[in-house]
Amino acid sequence: MNSQEYKQFYDTVGALNGWDFSQIRCSSEGVEWDFYDQVSRLCTASDVLLDIGTGGGESLLSTASHAALLVGIDLSHTMVETARRNMQRTAISNVRFAQMEAESLSFPSEFFNIISCRHSPFHASETARVLMEDGVFLTQQVRECDKANLVQAFGRGQSLRPDGSLKEQYTKELQLAGFRNIHYAEYDAVEYYEREEDLIFLLKHTPIIPRFGQEEDDFRILQQFISDHRTDRGIRTNAARFMMIARR
């Protein structure tokens, strides 16, 4: 999908439910960290935090007690609207949401102590500009080998580049932007989706298989995939992630 197609996709998801997948019944083996736990551990009570690609704001709201002010931005206006509705259901008062592009941040230079970005594109030079000296940037991204058996079954996926390509690209961009002490970690976990509807919900609300449900053979392929990969624990696939933590 190109950038406009992604924007339209996320607008649709945002209007439906934000980025809340809490109803999916899924278990995992081999997940080595929770990204927003890592973010929370690096925050101090006086920090100002920016979350790029915040989606429906569910994860950012869960970290609100760890910083003085948190700002979540997203390219999709429907995601931002959903995030604001999610906040209205809470007593949280130190979180703000705005529609904004990551490559053109409307903030003063050196405004944030910490910046997070989970499964969303970022612009390294803009991130460096709005981050204070010695500030921390964390990002978690989807590896190219994520959901490998699904991609193989459907013959298409959100990324067909060699595994590690995105990590190399972002490492170079962060270095050019002046980041230092870049730490990298990765995992490739096993996932089990308990019910067929859990897997269908995932495919309809993420870009794992672009245009899922629009191709004539998609549901025939899915039924064969479920038959081939069903186990006693659920329908088996994988979740591959990498994380980078860097200082400016």
- Condensed to tens digits (0 to 9), the pLDDT of residues 201-219 reads 888 888 899 988 888 899 8
Query: Which own/partner contact pairs does 108-111 have at CB distance under 8 Å and 24+ positions apart?
Result: 110/135, 111/48, 111/50
Q: Predicted confidence band at 64 (pLDDT cuts at 50, 70, 90)?
A: very high
Angle between helices 218-229 and 196-205 (to 10 degrees): 130
9 pLDDT higher than 80: no
Q: What is the pLDDT of residues 119-167, one digit of tens each?
A: 999 999 999 999 999 999 999 999 999 999 999 999 999 887 899 999 9
Q: Name the pLDDT band for 14 (thresholds 50, 70, 90).
A: very low
Look at residue 21 and tell me whether its pLDDT is greater than 80: no
In this prediction, residue 197 carries a pLDDT of: 86
Q: Which domains does the chain have, with CATH numbers?
A: 3-247 (3.40.50.150)
Is the pTM of the predicted complex or chain greater than 0.85? yes
Highest-confidence range of 7-16, 17-26, 126-135, by mean pLDDT?
126-135
pLDDT digits (tens, 9 = 90+) for 164-179: 999 999 999 999 999 9
Q: Return the pLDDT at 20.
A: 60
Give the mean pLDDT of 210-230: 91
Distances in Å between the alpha carbon of 149 and those of 155, 198, 209, 225? 10, 17, 11, 8
Q: Is the pLDDT of residue 18 over 60?
A: no
Say if CB 79 and CB 55 are below 8 A apart.
Answer: yes
Burial class (CB in 10 A: 0-12, 13-18, 19+), 146: buried
pLDDT digit string, tens, across residues 153-166: 999 998 878 999 99
pLDDT of residue 112 exceeding 90: yes
